[in-house]
Amino acid sequence: MPKGVFIAHWDDFRGLVVEHKYPTSIMLTEKDLNMVYYHHEKGRTGSLQYVELENMRVASLASSGRPLWIVVFVLDEGEEIEGQEDVLLGMGRYVLAMLAQHPEGVDVKDVLENQRMLHRPTPEQEYADIFLTPSSALLLERMEQEGIDRATRLAVWLNTQVQSEEIDIRAVAAPLMKSGVVRVEKVQGAGETVFLVRDVFAYRAPPVQALQYALETMVHIAEVYQDRVTEFFSPPPPEKGYNPTAATDDPNSPLLEDRQRIAEILRNGIHYEVVRCLRERPMTLAEISQATTFPVELVQKVLWALEAEKVTTHVDGGSLWVLLTDPTIEAFMPEFVLPDVFRKMKDRELDAKVVMRYLELLDEEWGRAE
Partner 1 sequence: MIRNVCILGELGNVVYMKEYAESQTKDRLLDFLVNLSQFISNEEFDGKTEHMNLPSTRIYYTKRDSFTFVFVADRADDPAQIEEKTEQLVERFMKDYANLALASQPLDGFDEVVDEIAVTMVKVAILGFAGVGKTTTLHLLRGETLPLVHDPTIGVSIKKLPTEVENANIVLWDLAGQSRFSILWAKMIANAQVVIIVTDSTLENVLRSKKLVTLVREEVPDAKIIGIANKQDLATALTPERVGQILGIPTYELVAIDISYRDRLIQIIRRAILEGKSESKDRVS
Pairing of strands 326-332, 320-323: unpaired
Binding flag, residue 44, partner 1 (CB under 8 A): no
Residue 15 vs 339, nearer CB to partner 1: 15
Task: Please tell me what DSSP assigns to residue 105.
Answer: G
- What angle (nearest 5°) sits at the alpha carbon of residue 351, between those of residues 140 and 144? 15
Binding flag, residue 120, partner 1 (CB under 8 A): no
- Taking CB under 8 A as the binding criterion, the range among 26-34, 171-179, 230-238, 282-290 that sits at the site for partner 1 is 26-34
Binding flag, residue 47, partner 1 (CB under 8 A): no
Q: Which of 23, 24, 41, 86 binds partner 1 (CB under 8 A)?
A: 41
Residue 14 vs 240, nearer CB to partner 1: 14
Binding flag, residue 14, partner 1 (CB under 8 A): yes
Report, in Å, the least distance between residue 77 CB and partner 1: 23
Report, in Å, the least distance between residue 12 CB and partner 1: 4
Query: How many residues can be counted in the chain?
Result: 370
- Helix or strand run (H / E) with residue 38: helix 30-42
- Taking CB under 8 A as the binding criterion, the range among 37-45, 123-131, 272-280, 357-365 that sits at the site for partner 1 is 37-45
Residue 16 vs 270, nearer CB to partner 1: 16
Binding flag, residue 38, partner 1 (CB under 8 A): yes
- Helix or strand run (H / E) with residue 44: none
Helix 269-280 and helix 85-101: axis angle, to 10°? 100
- Are 103 and 95 within 8 A, CB to CB? no
Q: How many helices (H) and strands (E) does the chain have?
A: 15, 12
- Taking CB under 8 A as the binding criterion, the range among 30-38, 98-106, 229-237, 319-327 that sits at the site for partner 1 is 30-38
Task: Please tell me what DSSP assigns to residue 153.
Answer: H
Longest Cα–Cα distance in the chain: 73
Binding flag, residue 42, partner 1 (CB under 8 A): yes
- Taking CB under 8 A as the binding criterion, the range among 9-17, 86-94, 143-151, 180-188 that sits at the site for partner 1 is 9-17
DSSP characters over 254-296:
HHHHHHHHHHHHHHSHHHHHHHHHHHH--B-HHHHHHHH---H
Size of site (CB under 8 A) for partner 1: 13
Binding flag, residue 37, partner 1 (CB under 8 A): yes
Residue 33 vs 197, nearer CB to partner 1: 33
83-92's contacts with Cβ under 8 Å and 24+ in sequence apart are 84/1, 85/48, 86/120, 87/115, 87/117, 88/2, 88/48, 88/59, 88/61, 89/48, 89/61, 89/120, 90/115, 90/117, 90/118, 90/119, 90/120, 91/5, 91/115, 91/116, 91/117, 92/48, 92/60, 92/61
Binding flag, residue 227, partner 1 (CB under 8 A): no
Binding flag, residue 31, partner 1 (CB under 8 A): yes
Give the Cα separation of 37 and 12 in Å (integer).
13
Tell me the one-letter amino acid at 262: I
Q: Which of 13, 52, 80, 245 binds partner 1 (CB under 8 A)?
A: 13
- Taking CB under 8 A as the binding criterion, the range among 33-41, 156-164, 218-226, 233-241 that sits at the site for partner 1 is 33-41
Q: Which of 8, 33, 169, 263 binds partner 1 (CB under 8 A)?
A: 33
CA atoms within 13 A on the CB side of 238: 0
Binding flag, residue 30, partner 1 (CB under 8 A): yes
- Taking CB under 8 A as the binding criterion, the range among 7-15, 82-90, 147-155, 288-296 that sits at the site for partner 1 is 7-15
DSSP characters over 320-361:
EEEESSEEEEEEE--GGGHHHHHHHHHTTSS-HHHHHHHHHH
Report, in Å, the least distance between residue 66 CB and partner 1: 11
Q: Which of 3, 18, 26, 35 binds partner 1 (CB under 8 A)?
A: 35
Residue 25 vs 55, nearer CB to partner 1: 55
Residue 17 vs 171, nearer CB to partner 1: 17
Residues that bind partner 1 (CB under 8 A): 12-15, 30-31, 33-35, 37-38, 41-42
